[in-house]
Amino acid sequence: MKAIEQIYIDGAFVTPHGAERFDLFNPATEEKIGEVRLGDAEDARAAIAAAKRAFPAMRRTSPAERIEMLHALRDAVAAKADALTEAMATEYGAPQSFLAFSVPYAAGVFEMAARTVADYAFTRRIGNTDVIMEPVGVAAAITPWNSDIGFICSKLATAIAAGTSIVIKPSEMSAIQTQAVTEALHAAGLPRGVLNIVNGYGHVVGTALTQSPDIAKISFTGSTATGRTILRAAAETFKRVTLELGGKGPQILLDDADLDQAIPHILTSAFRNSGQACIAGTRLLVPAHRYEEVSSRLAAAVSALKASPSSDPTSDIGPMVSAKQWERVQSYIRLGQEEGATLLAGGEGRPEGQDRGWFVRPTVFTGVTNDMRISREEIFGPVLSVIAYHDEAEAIAIANDTDYGLQSYVLGTDGDRMRRVARELEAGRVVLNEAPMDPRAPFGGFKHSGIGREFGAFGLEAFLEPKAILG
């Protein structure tokens, strides 16, 4: 049983003022595996004060000094790869493919931020004016449970790149992963107060951060509902906000698509991170004349997917993070049937062979129309809705008929045509044929999927303010 008794403030592990405890679980077994002692508003204030003390010196660091810090952080995370992977497997339970991706990704975000700093013009001359890009002020980050280590690292990397200090409030459900990554980051030897990490509830520690007049910037990843609350609270003190929220990504299968290539891409996009991914492509738009053919190929491919624990190297899909999330996904699988959609694969209950753990059956609905709740609401589990379209214009209209606009997908064989369709989509990112991730391309959403962008120069600028010195 793991007991997480401390938070990280001013360069040290300290006992929080808050005394409330929160249970931690292994989602593959449903067993309680630990407890975390949560911080409270007073702990948030102590962390903000430490970050505020660290800010003036951090603000004056040169790009070269910041690159050095980022390299130290990269190396510190890479050095603890085994411990981080173990923490994630135990507390989150992702399949091997996601575990293998996650820790190199977390180390890689520091490397990418260092490269962005190296290439970025922090001062430039425009007319008779010097424009200086300055750090916006002390930052706060609030992160979700579906990639705890990755989000902590990417938000810290951007703060350091910009020359600011940060207070991070991770999800209370990920405290074992947070502890492992905090220990790794501590070894990088950042100046005191530059990094502070406070476990706690959103409505307690999160609210203290969003209301504090000493926080100038909030970078939030999480649900659209919480993003709205944060945006409202931040307005009081005119905080700069970056919000990375939910999604209901369309995958447009064009009529010239080669199904041998497209079907694996469709499943990867729909069920990535066990479906607990904001970027999941959960609405598949299929030309009506190929609907039967695509459905039968999907049924066979999805039936072959395996939902099992991380310890099984052949697992494709891990458990849902909590009992609550499991119930939520079950309720949507019930709802799809009530709404009149047809179960092509999967369904309610646990997958065969799993008698415990928050595992769900990878599920595909056909006969879905875009007005059904299963195609409008983010389910955050491995549930794919297949919708028929008659021509390209209708496909684009259905794809854009959503409150969300995070990541869309276009599958086909004609590059020019795919690009033409991509330009019509209301989404922060469009992936053509499962192109590989580009870590310096901007990431973020249109519409209710968020505000602002992360990664690369766009992400860096979200932590900077331009100052013009005329003359």
Which pair of tokens denotes residue 373? 């709740």
Extract the runs of DSSP E, i.e. beta strands, from 103-253. 123-126, 129-135, 139-142, 166-169, 195-197, 217-221, 240-244, 250-253
Which pair of tokens denotes residue 347? 């369904």
User: Which of 410-433 are b and which e, b meaning 16 or more Cβ less than 10 Å from the residue's Cβ?
Assistant: bbbeeeeebeebbebbbbbbbbeb
Catalytic residue chosen out of the listed positions 278, 378, 454, 461? 278
Please indicate whether residue 31 is annotated as part of the active site: no
Smallest gap from residue 152 Cβ to ligand NAD (A)? 11
User: Which residue lies nearer to ligand NAD by CB, 102 or 207?
Assistant: 207
Closest residue by Cα to residue 205 from 218, 223, 186, 193: 218
Residue 235 · residue 212 · CB < 8 Å: no
Q: How far apart are CA 150 and CA 101, in angstroms?
A: 10
Which residue of this chain has its Cβ atom nearest to ligand NAD in the complex? 202
**Residue where the block lists tokens 């709404």:** 339
Binding residues for ligand NAD (CB under 6 A)? 142-146, 169, 171-172, 201-203, 206-207, 210, 221-223, 226, 229-230, 244-247, 278, 378, 380, 406, 450
Please indicate whether residue 153 is annotated as part of the active site: no
**Residue where the block lists tokens 């910041």:** 66
Smallest gap from residue 362 Cβ to ligand NAD (A)? 18
User: Which residue lies nearer to ligand NAD by CB, 223 or 433?
Assistant: 223
Residue 398 · residue 240 · CB < 8 Å: no
Smallest gap from residue 443 Cβ to ligand NAD (A)? 7
User: Which residue lies nearer to ligand NAD by CB, 171 or 251?
Assistant: 171
Smallest gap from residue 224 Cβ to ligand NAD (A)? 6
Q: What is the dihedral of CA 372, 365, 430, 240, to 10 degrees?
A: 50
Q: How far apart are CA 249 and CA 427, in angstroms?
A: 9
Smallest gap from residue 279 Cβ to ligand NAD (A)? 7
User: Which residue lies nearer to ligand NAD by CB, 61 or 182?
Assistant: 182
Catalytic residue chosen out of the listed positions 244, 378, 454, 461? 244
- Report the catalytic residues: 244, 278
